[in-house]
A and B are shown apart, each in its own frame.
Chain A
Amino acid sequence: KNQVEQSPQSLIILEGKNCTLQCNYTVSPFSNLRWYKQDTGRGPVSLTIMTFSENTKSNGRYTATLDADTKQSSLHITASQLSDSASYICVVRNAGGTSYGKLTFGQGTILTVHP
């Protein structure tokens, strides 16, 4: 069964500190992995996409890594800001299945940044 597990469930850090969110998946065959950010009261917004051949990708203070062998991804946030407080969702696309593609969502990690 295709699954995406995220850890931790929630995280509280002080402004300016770094943090790393984890995503483990069992989706196969693998197509790509996205990290979304969902602010309170808003829908998820894509931060980055990782394909099989990519190990690291950065988007400003966000850096995603992918280890396709161990089926793990991480999202590292550098020098956190109050606006980083949100839920971060890992989504893995299955390369097989229907033409519209099967997405498996993680349950999200809720990050709270305190001043």
Chain B
Amino acid sequence: ETGVTQTPRHLVMGMTNKKSLKCEQHLGHNAMYWYKQSAKKPLELMFVYSLEERVENNSVPSRFSPECPNSSHLFLHLHTLQPEDSALYLCASSPGFSGANVLTFGAGSRLTVL
């Protein structure tokens, strides 16, 4: 384990379902991120949170709704998704935003939208 835990690891949902992905970090980091990883494509940044405040929303459709109740937890609420949203969703954290800060990733949540 890297110190960043994601649940569930696998999720299958219909287009009309509502589900949530959860991320928890035990590293005392101040920044948390959601990335989308699709096959043969670079990681796409979705959201960035700094000390519970959203600092980036990278033109993500509103069917994805993030929530950061505290600096250790991050959620991604999913509603009315499309099949093209099927992907691996990675949560990451970092101490802050200085150039040398490394991202620590969770193992990801594999989402399949039917």
A interface, CB within 8 angstroms of B: 4, 9, 31-32, 34, 41-46, 49, 89, 93, 95, 98-101, 103-108
Contact = CB atoms under 8 A, between A and B. Distances in A.
A45 B2 contact: yes
A22 to B, nearest CB: 15
A107 B105 contact: no
B92 interface: yes
B99 A100 contact: no
B40 A41 contact: no
A29 B33 CA distance: 23
A32 to B, nearest CB: 6
Nearest to B101: A101
Contacts, number: 52
A34 B102 contact: yes
21 contacts: A9-B40, A31-B99, A42-B107, A43-B2, A43-B92, A43-B107, A44-B103, A45-B105, A46-B103, A49-B100, A93-B99, A95-B99, A98-B55, A98-B56, A100-B48, A101-B99, A103-B45, A103-B103, A106-B42, A107-B40, A107-B41
B46 interface: no
- Chain B contact surface mostly: loop
B4 interface: yes
Given A31-B99, A32-B100, A42-B107, A105 B42 contact: yes
A6 to B, nearest CB: 9
